[in-house]
Amino acid sequence: MADYTPIAEIPKILNELRTTFQSGKTRPLEWRKQQLRQLARFAQENVEPIAECLRLDLGKPRLEVLVGEIAPIVQRCLHVADNLDEWAKPEVAPVHDWQAGWKARTERHPKGVALVISPWNYPMILSMQPVYGAIAAGCCVALKVSEVSSHFASFVAANLTKYLDPSAFRVILGGVPEITKILELKWDHIFYTGNGKVGRIIAAAAAKHLTPITLELGGKSPAIVDATADIPVTARRILFGKCTNAGQICVAPDYILAEESIVKPLVEALKQRLTEMFPEGALASASISRIVSDAHFARLKALLSSTKGKIVAGGNWDTEPGKRGFEPTVVVDVKDGDSLLSEELFGPILPIVTVRNLDEAIAFVNSRDHPLTLYAFSNNPENKAKILSSTMSGGVNFNDTVAQLSLDDVPFGGVGESGYGRQVCRYGFEDFSYLRPVIDVPYEEEKFNGARYAPFTPEAEAFFAAGINVEIPR
C-alpha cells in the first residue's frame, strides 16, 4: 500500500479545502457538473486497474466489479449532472396573502467541507457514491479510503485527483492513528459507511463539534419466506444476495425466517441452486469472492464452528494459507441465541430459523434492531401489507434481494441501529446540502410592519388576533 498520509498533514488538508470552499469555487453549477463528469471519466477510463485492485483485495469477480462498482458510478454521475439544474432550483414558498411580495423561497446550499469515510467491501461505489453527492451539493471533500482494501486505496490516492480538482478534493490514507486525528477536527459533514461500533465512535466525535453526520450501517437483514412463496425462485434470489461478494455486503440476506411447512422444500431448492451456481465447487470457482482478511476469515470459521444448528450444505473453507475461500453454507435448526444470530455475519453463511407463522416471524424481527433492509418472499398481498405495517427497516424488498441497489431514484439508508441519512443521486445531493429559507421584504410593504411596531394599539392587536379567532374543525 502507498504510504499513509502524515498525521501532521491532515489539518493542513482540511485548511486547504476550507480555503477553496470559502473562495466560492465549488458553488457554480457548471463547475459541479464538470467535476461529476470527471468522476465518471475516472471510473470509465480505469476499469481494468480498478478490477485488478478488487481482485487482489477481495478476489472479486470482474463481472461483480463492472455491475456493482463501476457502471453505477459512471451512470449516476451523468444522471446527477443532467438533473442538477432542476434539483438545485429554489423552491417558491406558499405564503399568506399579506406576505405575497416577500419573494419567499427555499434554497439548497452546500454544507462546506465534507469528510467521507468509506469501507473495504465495495470500495469503489461506497467511496464515490457519497463523493458525487457532495460534488453535486457544492462541497469540498476529504476521502478517507479503507486501508483494508489496500490495493484500491493506493490506486485512488494516486489517481483520483488527476481527474478531480485537487484544490477541492483530497484522499487520505491511514489506519487508526490517522482516523483518530481526522476525527479531532471540525468538518462540516461526515459520511461514514461501516458498522455500528465504529459508527458510535464517529458520531461521538462529530457531536463535539455539532457536525451533522450520515451513518450508513448494516445489521442483520432478515428474509421472511411464507408458505405462498415460489420456492425455486426464492432460493435462487436469496442465494444471489448471499453469494454476491461472498456475503460481504451490508444488504445481504443475513438469515431466513421460514414457515415450517416450507423449510424442507426450501432447503432442497437451496442445495440444488448451489450445485448449479458452482458446479466445480465454490472453493474452485472464479464466480465468488474471497474473504477480505485473515481476521474476517477466522471470525466466520469461529461462528460456524460454534453454531448449534445443522449444516445441510457447504461448511468447508480453504485450508491453504492466504486463499480464504469459504463455501456458501446453509444451516438449519438455528434457534434464538445461536452464534449465527449474534452479529451481522458479513459472509456466505445462511442460517434458517423455523417459525410457525408470519406473526411469529414479524415478532422475531421486531425483537431485534431495525435492519437496513427487510426481505420478504410471498404471493399473498395481505401478508405483504402486514409486514409493511408491522415492522420497521431502512427499506423493504419483496421477492428479491439486493435489487434495490440498482434503483437510481429512490433513497437508500437505514433507521435506528442500521443508520440514518439517505444517499443515491438526488438524495445524496440533498444529504450534503442544507435548506436555507430566504425572504426579501420590500421597503414599501408596511401594512404588517406598521402593526407590529410600538406603541401597541387596539387596532394592531385586532389585526393579529384575526389569526387566532378562526373556526377549528371538530
| pLDDT at position 448 | 57
> In this model, does residue 414 exceed pLDDT 90?
yes
* pLDDT at residue 145 greater than cutoff 90: yes
Could you give the residue numbers annotated as active site?
216, 250
What value does the mean pLDDT take over residues 207-224? 96
8-217+422-434, what's its fold? Answer: Aldehyde Dehydrogenase; Chain A, domain 1 (3.40.605)
pLDDT tens column, 186-198 = 999 999 999 999 9
pLDDT tens across 250-272, in order?
999 999 999 999 999 999 999 99
Return the pLDDT at 1.
Answer: 64
**Which CATH code is given to the segment(s) 222-409?**
3.40.309.10
pLDDT tens column, 442-456 = 988 775 567 788 888
Q: Which residues contact 90 (CB under 8 A, 6 or more apart)?
A: 105, 106, 107, 438
> What confidence tier does 459 reach under pLDDT thresholds 50, 70, 90?
confident
| Greater pLDDT, 459 or 111 | 111
User: For the stretch 84-111, what's the b/e string if a residue is b when 16 or more beta carbons lie within 10 angstroms of its beta carbon?
Assistant: beebbeeeeeeeeeeeeebebeeebebb
**What span, in angstroms and rounded, lies between the C-alpha atoms of 448 and 126?**
51
Q: Output the pLDDT for position 447.
A: 59
Overall average pLDDT of the 109-113 stretch: 98
**What average pLDDT does the structure give for the chain?**
96
What torsion do the CA atoms of 435, 436, 442, 443 make, to the nearest 10 degrees? 150
> Phi, psi at residue 278, to the nearest 5°?
-130, 70
- In the chain, what are the domain boundaries? 8-217+422-434, 222-409
| pLDDT-based confidence at residue 316 (cuts at 50, 70, 90) | very high
Tell me, what's the pLDDT at 367?
97
Q: What is the pLDDT of residues 351-376, one digit of tens each?
A: 999 999 999 999 999 999 999 999 99
For residue 59, what is its C-alpha cell?
A: 478476489
Which of helix, strand or coil describes residue 35? helix
pLDDT at 18 over 70: yes
pLDDT tens, residue by residue, 415-434: 999 999 999 999 999 999 99
Mean pLDDT of 109-116: 98
Percentage above 90 pLDDT, the chain = 91
